[in-house]
């Protein structure tokens, strides 16, 4: 005899707006590592790259952001950490 699994109701934490990818909205094909002011939006105050869930970036652009941040760090446009 198979029992149907009952789902627990999720707690209501308010209505959250869906985050949209800034680069898709602006129709940006390639993220530029020299545009460090834009890249700072995707970094924490400690210098870590923020996750997709936090920023709302799509998978394609999140990979480009990570690569651009790493390149910008290499040429000293962005810090590795904020210590």
Annotated domain spans of the chain: 22-74
Residue 41: the pLDDT is 92
Residue 12: the pLDDT is 66
Q: Express each pLDDT in 29-82 by its tens digit.
A: 999 999 999 999 999 999 999 999 999 999 999 999 999 999 999 999 998 887
CATH for 22-74? 4.10.640.10
* Residues 35 and 75: beta-carbon distance below 8 Å: no
- Residue ranges in 1-83 assigned as alpha helix (H): 22-25, 36-39, 52-55, 59-74
Q: How far apart are the first and last CA of the chain?
A: 60
Residue 28: the pLDDT is 92
């Amino acid at each position: 005899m198979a029992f149907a699994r009952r789902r627990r109701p999720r707690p209501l934490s308010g209505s959250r707006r869906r985050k949209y990818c800034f680069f898709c909205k602006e129709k940006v094909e390639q993220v530029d590592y020299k545009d460090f002011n834009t890249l700072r939006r995707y970094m924490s105050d400690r210098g870590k790259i923020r996750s997709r869930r936090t920023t709302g970036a799509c998978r394609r652009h999140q990979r480009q952001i990570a690569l651009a941040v790493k390149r910008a760090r290499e040429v000293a446009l962005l810090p590795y950490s904020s210590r």
